């Protein structure tokens, strides 16, 4: 039986790559190790982990939302795809914990709230956003100063597209990619997953935001890598890849995916810094004036 959901039109949030059997089966040790890795990156947010306010953008059926909720203050999961949202809601009803979780069935661009978050998760979601600039402006607006975004995204140039499990799909112009997806009967079109970026594309994209960002090289022992694969050949390749990435950043071009941690600049610190510069400038000006008067006297 085909569990994938058919998309009706290109603006709907019918994400046709979703495989519900896989969603149900996802190993919890992978979820736990991912969440531990995420929280490991939050040490200098300036708050205990148990008090963090977290936003999970494109939370799907809530796989990571539920896990992280056990450790932080509160989580809002935003998910526009109705079926995934309903799964998350029904799972929440069955749980004993979860009072600190809220789900919203809307795209992030339409999320209207006064709340600001310490941590935003954006796990394999960027590649589904046709207008990444608008989406990220919104995400950035929702982030507190000094807050962090933990983002994972596949590399557009990786030869195997993992949503539709087709080689070279993301290399093709959208017209041909759609045709490829249809001919191989993997779905109605590629448009719901077609916006992954390359290493340079991501750098260019985040250079336009007032943020610091860092490509994270995970420890090769992290369980979430390769979804916990124990395959000998895969593990050798993974270890070698990580070794090369640590030595030469050039190898990011060939990375299968990226983990990026983005920190929102503390504007207050910047303002303090500019006030300091203005004061320095003022005192220099005053000194010059004083010397000038003295010389004239």
Ligand X SMILES: C[S@@+](CC[C@H](N)C(=O)[O-])C[C@H]1O[C@@H](n2cnc3c(N)ncnc32)[C@H](O)[C@@H]1O
Of positions 4, 5, 15, 16, contacts ligand X by CB under 6 A: 15
Nearest CB to ligand X, comparing residues 112 and 296:
112
> CA 288, CA 147: separation in Å to the nearest integer?
42
Stretch that binds ligand X, among 42-50, 122-130, 174-182, 218-226 (CB under 6 A): 122-130
x/- site string to ligand X, residues 230 to 269, per CB under 6 A?
----------------------------------------
Q: Are 99 and 74 in contact (CB under 8 A)?
A: no
> CA 1, CA 93: separation in Å to the nearest integer?
28
Question: What does residue 143 show for φ and ψ, rounded to 5 degrees?
Answer: -95, 140
Residues 213-232 within binding reach of ligand X (CB under 6 A): none
Nearest CB to ligand X, comparing residues 113 and 283:
113
Closest CB to ligand X: residue number? 58
x/- site string to ligand X, residues 59 to 78, per CB under 6 A?
xx--xx-------------x
Sign of CA dihedral 109, 112, 117, 121: negative
Cβ neighbours of residue 251 closer than 8 Å, sequence gap 6 or more: 241, 244, 245
Q: Any contact of residue 187 with ligand X (CB under 6 A)?
A: no
Burial category of 43 from C-beta neighbours within 10 Å (exposed 0-12, middle 13-18, buried 19 and up): exposed
Q: Any contact of residue 101 with ligand X (CB under 6 A)?
A: no
Q: Any contact of residue 58 with ligand X (CB under 6 A)?
A: yes
Q: Are 110 and 138 in contact (CB under 8 A)?
A: no
Q: Any contact of residue 79 with ligand X (CB under 6 A)?
A: yes
**Site residues, ligand X (CB under 6 A):** 13, 15, 57-60, 63-64, 78-81, 84, 107-109, 123-125, 128-129, 135
């Amino acid at each position: 039986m085909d569990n994938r959901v058919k998309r009706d039109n290109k603006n709907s949030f019918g994400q046709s790559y979703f495989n519900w059997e896989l969603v149900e089966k996802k190993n919890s040790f992978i979820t736990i190790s991912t969440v531990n890795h995420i929280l490991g990156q939050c040490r200098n947010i300036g708050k205990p982990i148990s008090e963090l306010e977290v936003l999970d953008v494109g939370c799907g059926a809530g796989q990571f939302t539920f896990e992280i909720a056990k450790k932080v203050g509160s989580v809002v999961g935003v998910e526009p795809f109705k079926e995934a949202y309903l799964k998350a809601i029904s799972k929440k009803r069955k749980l004993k914990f979860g009072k600190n979780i809220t789900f919203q069935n809307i795209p992030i661009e339409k999320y209207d709230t006064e709340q600001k978050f310490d941590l935003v998760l954006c796990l394999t979601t960027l590649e589904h956003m046709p207008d990444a600039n608008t989406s990220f402006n919104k995400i950035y607006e929702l982030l507190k100063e000094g807050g962090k975004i933990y983002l994972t995204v596949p590399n557009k140039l990786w030869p195997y597209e993992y949503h539709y499990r087709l080689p070279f799909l993301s290399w093709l112009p959208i017209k041909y990619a759609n045709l490829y997806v249809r001919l191989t009967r993997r779905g109605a079109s590629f448009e719901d997953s077609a916006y992954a970026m390359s290493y340079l594309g991501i750098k260019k994209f985040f250079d336009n935001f007032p943020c610091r960002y860092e490509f994270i090289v995970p420890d090769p022992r992290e369980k979430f890598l390769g979804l916990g694969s124990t395959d000998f050949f895969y593990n050798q390749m993974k270890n070698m890849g990580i070794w090369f990435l640590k030595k030469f950043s050039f190898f990011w071009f060939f990375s299968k995916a990226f983990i990026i941690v983005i920190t929102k600049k503390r504007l207050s610190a910047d303002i303090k810094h500019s006030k300091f510069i203005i004061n320095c400038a003022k005192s220099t000006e005053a000194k010059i004036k004083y010397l000038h008067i003295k010389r004239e006297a």
